[in-house]
Amino acid sequence: MYELIAGTLASYLLGDSVTQFSTIIGAYLSAMGIGSWLSRYVKRNLVGVFVQVEILVGILGGASAALLFLVFEQVTSFRVILYADVLAVGILVGIEIPLLLRILKDRFEFSDLVSRVFTFDYAGALFASLLFPLLLVPHLGLIQTGFLFGMLNVLVAIWLLFSVPDVIPGAHWQRGMALAALLGLLAGFIHAEDITGTAEAATYPGKVIHAQSTPYQRIVLTRAGADLRLYLNGNLQFSSLDEYRYHEALVHPALASLAQPRRVLIIGGGDGLALREIWKYPSVDQVVLVDLDPVMTRLFSSNNLLTQLNGNALRSPRLSVVNQDAFAWVRQAAGRLAPFDAIVIDLPDPSNYSIGKLYSLSFYKALGGLTHADTRIVVQSTSPLVARKSYWCVHDTLAAAGFQVTPYHAYVPAFGEWGYLLAGQKPWTPPARYPEGLRYVSVAETPRMLHFPADMDYVAAGVQRLDNQLLVRYFDEEWGAYAAAW
């Protein structure tokens, strides 16, 4: 369990979940090996040592998530502390099992015993690894989960101290120690929110006003003055100061080019901000929003600050929210639902192979099944300046799917120069007018959005297919180089 906590925490804080996870688990397992080797030097007082190890595991393991969270911003060598913690807990847990085996040896047939302990261990690990992503992390969060398991370890020690005090020298004072540890962990459990708050406040600029883990991501909202920011897994999604630029540019060139848009599909965009722009068209009478994470759509339709920002966009009888995987949904819906007049694709950047599927030729072809001759599609498609090949790869992929494609871009201070692509069965014509009250997009601004200076102009980039994932490779290369340079 503790290794799961450390692995998850490290991937939240350091990014790159796959590598973090496996190196941490690897370290933990080798530490357990060391622990079980060390355990043979325990010659006497087995139960007493076992109790002490349990208490130590409880304290160290239980508090480690909180500890790591707190020190993340304060120290330069976070990894050293992370691995020291993982090793310490691993060694202690490694001592535990052989000790338990030896203690129980006198009570059971040995072979029966080994299988019992390992069945327990196996079942326990199975149980924990099931419980962890499904129940504990979403409901308790990492820090509380840590404290909870710490308390369980200490409770085992307390139970032993009270049921077999005769075989434990100094059982009396150890009871006191164990109870104190239990109380400490309980306090941590109760105040976990504050700890996360303090820790995240240090990680993010501004004050953390909401933080939540879902099976899909960690959602963090921060505020600094009037600036409200959303981070998913540590990546900035918007800043309330300039998100209007991003969302106006995303929605209006497509929607305003249509005479009477009625049915609109949004893929991604669970924050309701693109939706807010769509409601500026009174002709729209039906919107379907497909977003994987129900927590996102729930949060953005209930939290006051957020509903203020999206103008309660998610609370409309004209809206149906579908919390499903977009690819599967589109394939199912194509041909069964009536085509949409506009399709707005506001997905995360193609930073891994899973999301890459939603930028593939196959996906755009499937999407074609939800269009009619005049449907206008718009795709947010990363920065043509930083990730030029990536941007034009999305362009080439849409073109290969048989669409007429129009590239444009907008400057969003929080993100930099940002790219979009319009697609449809017919070429797009710039709108003659836009809805009233826009702050950025206008008829005069449109030609500037359509102009591509030499440093982000077309490069032939090829097509993102499921069987080559070209885009994800470009994206990794280009943003990797950018991150290295800065």
Q: Which of 103, 128, 152, 337 binds other proteins (CB under 8 A)?
A: 128
What CA–CA distance (Å, rounded) separates 411 from 348?
Answer: 18
User: Side-chain half-sphere of 476: how many Cα atoms within 13 Å?
Assistant: 11
What CA–CA distance (Å, rounded) separates 51 from 174?
Answer: 9
Contact region for other proteins (CB under 8 A) — 18-26, 54-62, 242-250, 276-284? 18-26
Contact region for other proteins (CB under 8 A) — 59-67, 153-161, 229-237, 320-328? 320-328
Work out whether 22 is an interface residue with other proteins (CB under 8 A). Answer: yes
Report the phi/psi class of residue 409: left, alpha or beta, with left for phi > 0 and alpha for psi in -120 to 50. beta
Work out whether 362 is an interface residue with other proteins (CB under 8 A). Answer: yes
Residue 204 phi, psi dihedral angles, 5° rounding: -100, 145
Catalytic member of 346, 349, 374, 457: 346
Q: Which of 265, 292, 313, 422 binds other proteins (CB under 8 A)?
A: 292
Q: Is 346 noted as a catalytic residue in this protein?
A: yes
Beta carbon of residue 111, minimum distance to other proteins (angstroms, whole number): 14
Q: Which of 469, 474, 475, 478 binds other proteins (CB under 8 A)?
A: 469
Short-list 220, 230, 208, 258, CA closest to 377: 258
How much of the chain is helix, strand and coil, in % rounded to 5? 55, 15, 30
Work out whether 389 is an interface residue with other proteins (CB under 8 A). Answer: no
List, in sequence order, the alpha helices (H) in 72-210: 78-105, 110-131, 137-163, 171-190, 192-203
Q: List the interface residues with other proteins, window 168-187 (CB under 8 A).
A: none
Work out whether 77 is an interface residue with other proteins (CB under 8 A). Answer: no
Type of residue found at 37: W
Q: Which of 358, 370, 421, 423 binds other proteins (CB under 8 A)?
A: 358
Contacts 24+ apart (CB under 8 A), 276-280: 276/247, 276/310, 276/311, 276/313, 277/247, 277/248, 277/250, 277/251, 277/252, 278/251, 278/313, 278/342, 278/344, 279/311, 279/313, 279/316, 280/435, 280/437
Q: Which of 140, 399, 465, 482 binds other proteins (CB under 8 A)?
A: 465
Cα 283 to chain centroid distance, Å, stands at 35
Q: Which of 73, 227, 325, 445 binds other proteins (CB under 8 A)?
A: 325
Work out whether 25 is an interface residue with other proteins (CB under 8 A). Answer: yes
Contact region for other proteins (CB under 8 A) — 24-32, 201-209, 389-397, 419-427? 24-32
Short-list 475, 223, 215, CA closest to 350: 475
Among residues 33 and 416, whose Cβ is nearest to other proteins? 33
Contact region for other proteins (CB under 8 A) — 86-94, 184-192, 279-287, 467-475? 467-475
List the catalytic residues: 346
User: Which parts of this chain interact with other proteins (CB under 8 A)?
Assistant: 7, 18-19, 21-23, 25-26, 29, 122, 125-126, 128-130, 133, 215-216, 292, 325-328, 331, 352-355, 357-358, 360-362, 365, 465-469
